[in-house]
Structure 1
Amino acid sequence: MSRAQCPRCLRPQSHCLCELIPHLHSRTRVLLLQHPSEVGHALNTARLAALGLSNAELRVGEVFDDLETLLNPPGYQARLLFPGQGAQLIAAHKAEDSLPWLLVVPDGTWRKARKLLHLNPLLANLPRVTLPEGAQSRYRLRKAPGPGALSTLEAIVQTLELLEAPRVFEPLLRPFEALIEGQIEAMGAQTYQRNHLDKA
């Protein structure tokens, strides 16, 4: 028999995260395009981002039939948060007379995210932006595929803090940290130290 689930954060009721999820407003609009394989992931940080930001939307799928409408909300200019050739380094975007960004964020493994771009040519054609090098992930349960590799939620927090400084979006990470602590507690300190700390 399955455990009762919170309909909002999709966690078991006994481990509901809703009290830790903030309600933050951003000038930047965030559009999260989540590969279906991520929905059941234990962390599902894209969902945490969408729940914590009032100006965010989460869509799940591989092909998005209404993508042209999604990418062109009135009053915004779309940017794809994804590294690659020609990606512009994100810096403070403070000019009040310029349009705020629609930050489009593919959510999935690198392979699945690239598949989303391949299946949705409108995405691949967007101007790309990327974070400065040297970011450190707080995801202590997974070896990052490379330097600067962040979870979707961490990447969004860092991007918003660059674009909208001095505003702080750190509270979005509270449920993320709680999830990681819960997973470490469930596996036991010895297992965590043996399998994760020794390999750091």
Structure 2
Amino acid sequence: MPRAYCPRCQRPDSYCLCSLIPCLPSRTRVLILQHPSETRHALNTARLAALSLENAELRIGEQFADPSIVDPSSYLLFPGPEAVPLAELAGSARPLRLIVPDGTWRKARKLLYLNPALAALPRVSLPEGAVSRYRLRKASIPGALSTLEAIVTALNLLEGTGRFDALLKPFDALIDGQIRAMGENIFRRNHDFQR
């Protein structure tokens, strides 16, 4: 018999996270562009972010032809030599729109390659030295965060430190649930990168 899934968080009913998902307003609009291969990922942090923020939208695809994706208030949250530190935009008089690619680094770069208008947006970056709570994956580059963690960090920089930390509660529960499901010994042997 197939497992029953929550239609909202798309987790198995026995691991539903909906009671932990906040509903937070933000001045900053967040558009998450998710690579299709990420939709079935067990952790899918982009979906958690979209469910948690009133002013967030999640679009799935590789190419986005809709011209509304790019507007004058848009900034691409993606590192690069031309990226401006996000903290420099804090206190902006006008509301900003952050566009956040979601996928592995390779797939996120592919999204930019396939969408030149997106790649041409001004880029913003997070401060160096961030430490991920994502204990199930080893980051391919130092300071790499999950999509949800990057959004929380960005919004806290733009709108007030700690204001968006509640978004991390379902994320932490999700990771803890995955560790419990695999067993502590398997986690320590294969995923404990703190050693």
The TM-score, its normalising length taken from structure 2, stands at 0.95
Partner of 1:144: 139
- C-alpha distance in 2 between matches for 1:38 and 1:198: 23
- C-alpha distance in 1 between matches for 2:56 and 2:99: 10
From the superposition, tell whether residues 192 and 87 of structure 1 become closer, same or farther in structure 2 (CA, over 3 Å): same
TM-superposed deviation, 1:178: 0.6
- C-alpha distance in 1 between matches for 2:78 and 2:53: 20
- C-alpha distance in 2 between matches for 1:17 and 1:95: 33
**Does the CA contact (< 8 Å) of 1:92 and 1:162 recur in 2?**
no
From the superposition, tell whether residues 165 and 173 of structure 1 become closer, same or farther in structure 2 (CA, over 3 Å): same
- The 5-angstrom pairing of residues 71-150 of structure 1 reads 71-72=70-71, 77-91=73-87, 93-95=89-91, 98-150=93-145
**Does the CA contact (< 8 Å) of 1:93 and 1:164 recur in 2?**
no
Q: What amino acid is the match of 2:83?
A: A
Structure 1 consecutive aligned stretches of length 4 or more whose deviation exceeds 4 Å: none
- C-alpha distance in 2 between matches for 1:108 and 1:94: 26
Partner of 1:63: 63
From the superposition, tell whether residues 126 and 199 of structure 1 become closer, same or farther in structure 2 (CA, over 3 Å): same
**Does the CA contact (< 8 Å) of 1:21 and 1:52 recur in 2?**
yes
TM-superposed deviation, 1:166: 4.3
Per-residue Cα deviation, 1:158-182 (whole angstroms, up to 9, x for no partner): 0000000146100101111011101
Among the aligned pairs, what percent are the same residue? 65
Query: Which residue of 164, 173, 183 maps to 1:169?
Result: 164
TM-superposed deviation, 1:94: 4.3
Report the aligned-residue RMSD.
1.5
**Does the CA contact (< 8 Å) of 2:63 and 2:111 recur in 1?**
yes
- C-alpha distance in 2 between matches for 1:11 and 1:190: 24
Number of aligned residues: 195
Runs of 5+ consecutive residues of structure 2 not aligned to the other structure: none
TM-superposed deviation, 1:198: 6.3
TM-superposed deviation, 1:185: 0.6
Runs of 5+ consecutive residues of structure 1 not aligned to the other structure: none
Q: What amino acid is the match of 1:174?
A: K
TM-superposed deviation, 1:81: 0.2
Q: What amino acid is the match of 2:181?
A: A
TM-superposed deviation, 1:85: 2.2
TM-superposed deviation, 1:92: 5.6
TM-superposed deviation, 1:93: 3.6
- C-alpha distance in 1 between matches for 2:80 and 2:53: 26
- C-alpha distance in 1 between matches for 2:109 and 2:192: 30
- C-alpha distance in 1 between matches for 2:169 and 2:161: 19
